[in-house]
Amino acid sequence: SEGENPVSFSQEQLAKAKEDSSVKAVILRIDSPGGSVTASEIIHDEVMRFKAATHKPVATVMMDVTASGGYYVACASDRLFAYRTTITGSIGVIMQLFSLQGSLDALRMKTYAIKSGSFKDAGSPLRDLTPLEQDYFEGIVNDFYGRFLAVVAAGRPNLVQDRIRELADGRVYTAEQALANGLIDE
């Protein structure tokens, strides 16, 4: 994307705040529909390390959208604030794949993959997934989803695991709904 890399920018800003004795707290302003699992985890973990090292409070102010990976990052904060018009939640993980096999068949085109292992072309758009590959990818998504649920549980200690699972079906919430469900503080 254009502009500053959000992972690097967050790391740099937290490093500055860590070294600056005049900084008494950090406010994260998040406006994000989400992003990669890894980027979200890096920023979340960086905030957690900052809090552990400095004992300075961290609050998140949610802007237009703080969903999916944005909410993942926000869960590192001590307090979550949202505007009445904020959309948040979307707790879940998605992997989107597509297959052109039907189109290739209609065009009477064949593709070939020379590969070093049976899963090397798993997810290729040039053919349909096999049931084994479907299970494989579902396992990856479920592993990441389990991590996301653990992050929400740690960041929202007043929510019980069963309630988090009910809320974590991928839907977004208005700020009012998020407040009523314990996903934000104010």
Question: Which active-site residues does the annotation give?
Answer: 68, 120
8 Å CB contact between 178 and 155: no
Closest CA relative to residue 47, chosen from 26, 16, 20: 26
State residue 116 phi and psi, 5-degree precision: -90, -15
User: Residue 104 burial by CB count (10 A; 0-12/13-18/19+): exposed, middle or buried?
Assistant: middle
- Cα distance between residue 82 and residue 64, in whole Å: 9
Please give the span between the terminal C-alpha atoms of the chain, in angstroms, as a whole number.
32
